Chains A and B, each alone.
Chain A
Amino acid sequence: MDRPRVLVVDDEKVLRELLAEVLDSWGYEASTAGSAEEALEALGRSLVDAVLLDIMMPGMSGIDLLREIKHRDLDVDVVMMTGRPTVETAVQALKAGACDYLEKPLNLEVLRHLMGAVTERRLLRQEVHALRARVGDQLGAMELVGVSDAMNRLRDLIDRVAGSDSPVLIEGESGTGKELVAAAIHHRSPRGRAPFIPVNCGAIPAELMESEFFGHARGAFSGAVADALGLIRSAHSGTIFLDEIAELPAALQVKLLRVLQDKEVRPVGAVKTFKVEVRVIAATNRNVEEVVRAGTFRQDLFYRLNVVRILVPPLRERRADIPPLVTHFLRQLNQKLGRRVSGVAPEAMAALMGYDFPGNVRELENLLHRAYALGAREEITLEDLPVLQSRPEEPQSAGGLPTLAAAERELILRVLRHHGGDKDQAARALGISRRTLYRRLDEYSVS
């Protein structure tokens, strides 16, 4: 099993080094920080499983640091230590999210036991998470990650809207997580246990729309060999999430409006109608007012859906969320791919913070996923994020002279040929690492 990573934060150098040594001997991978600032820096650089944190420190207090840590990464377990225990500080610490509390001077047996328990709980949590994902409660298991004001407002809004049962219209660029927001509303609502049926309106062919949405009776058309419920009746007593609502053809808009008004559907080819009780959450990455003005979207349907409106801001407008999202995805990818990437190098993080993310959170996830595929090990470096390396497109050569890149390519290929294709020897001769050589060859599409 991997060694759990623990960060020890204490302003007393002797104590933190002793603790690190002891933890190390117990099979943990310990690192240390002497102040709140150092601790935050360390946490920003790499993932840890647990933090052992002194409550009394000069500068930022232990409790404030605890809050800050939990704010950035809810998944880290924090154990507080204090020399002067009072009930109030203990309560305060637990309220702020500490998972336990130790008195100084520390009893090492107690500490050992406690760390064991923390690690075990952690493993259990991961298993539960994996299980949940397996049984398909994936969206329910995903939290909305982020520490920005915009994200906090969004979470507040979701909580307020969840109980109201009114239709919701979600606006946001693609990749911002509109489906996550819709699922969060559903799971927090009284309908939480009933079905959540996501529909991408842009993906269903026009000729199938009516029967996919409203179902069909057996024999309604040549392929209708059995009664089918359709999307809306499948969502009965739950929530239907209509993504890309602006893609809905006009004919279907009328029918959907009728369903919302009458709360009943008539399947294709059926004589009778069926009562349905469904909450509708719609989403679009376009400006709905414009689509309505252009005449491609019915105003009456728009009014029906636009009871509560939620705007999910693009990632570039909430850059403070990038570090916690990175942490979140690294944890997920480590678990999914069985790897142990511990963090992102400072220059790579700076590049991520400076990038515009036209594809938003999904693009960030894809970038990190690609970095794993490119072989990122301990740390994700700028080299693992090729998209962020501002490399001008194939520069033109001037006056018949080759560009530096072209010369480099020519040299590398020549040395490789000289060594009969032996990459180890070629790398040594070029004075570059094997990894760099592979990367270059990859760029030139030579294997």
Chain B
Amino acid sequence: MLQRSAIARAHLHWVLVVDQDESAAGSLARRFQERGLMAHATASGQEALRLASLRKPTLAIIDLVLTDMDGVELARRLRALDPELAMVVTTGDRRPALEVEARRVGIVHYAHKPLDLDRLDAVTTRVLHSLERGQR
């Protein structure tokens, strides 16, 4: 469960969801919206970068496979835009080498699909919490 305060701060925070599977990205984004957070879904890494440069996201959920670039590449570019952005990398691919590549970017969670939504909620709560404590 997300904290109530998250709802009050909805206008300040937003979650970026990027996945080649547009409907998966959309339903994940809706899940955040239902919990009172702004969220945008896209299948394109370029579009994700454009959105993130307009306003810094609070959290980015990035799948390894996107329509126009590789998810790790997007994670690296987002990292360059914001050294403190919290990122989760998701994948349906179980090869361990991919996990190493993703973790090199500095992520808070690596998740295999189908996603464990409780774990994703825990990440979101933690991110909002540490922002509130002014830790970032």
Residues of A within 8 A of B (CB): 133-134, 136, 138, 179, 195-200, 202-205, 207-208, 212, 222-229, 231, 234-235, 244, 362
Contacts and interface: CB of A to CB of B under 8 A. Distances in A.
B11 to A, nearest CB: 16
9 contacts: A136-B76, A138-B79, A198-B106, A200-B106, A208-B123, A224-B116, A227-B94, A228-B112, A229-B100
Contacts of B73: 134, 136
Interface stretch (B16-24, B28-36, B60-68, B124-132): B124-132
A212 B106 contact: no
B55 interface: no
Report the interface size class on chain B: 20 to 34
B4 interface: no
Contacts of A362: 83
Nearest to B72: A136
B130 to A, nearest CB: 6
A231 B107 CA distance: 10
Contacts of B123: 205, 208
Contact of B112 (A133, A179, A203, A225): A225
Given A226-B112, A228-B110, A136 B104 contact: yes
B105 interface: yes
Contact of B80 (A138, A224, A226): A138
A202 B135 contact: yes
B72 to A, nearest CB: 8
B85 to A, nearest CB: 10
B118 A223 contact: yes
B64 to A, nearest CB: 13
Given A134-B76, A179-B83, 15 more contacts: A133-B80, A136-B76, A138-B80, A200-B106, A200-B108, A202-B135, A203-B86, A204-B109, A205-B122, A205-B125, A208-B119, A223-B116, A224-B112, A225-B114, A229-B103
B86 A138 contact: no
Given A195-B103, A362-B83, A226 B94 contact: yes
A135 to B, nearest CB: 8
B86 A231 contact: no
Nearest to B105: A136
Interface in B54-96: 72-73, 76-77, 79-80, 83, 86, 94, 96
A228 B110 CA distance: 8
B113 interface: yes
A198 B86 CA distance: 12
A225 B113 contact: yes
A186 to B, nearest CB: 11
A195 B97 CA distance: 11
Contact of B130 (A196, A203, A222): A203
Nearest to A199: B106
Contacts of B110: 212, 228
- Which of B72, B99, B123 counts the most chain A CB atoms within 10 A? B99
Contacts of B96: 227, 229
List 4 A-B pairs, minimum CB-CB distance, nearest first.
Answer: A223-B116, A198-B106, A205-B126, A205-B122
A116 B118 CA distance: 60
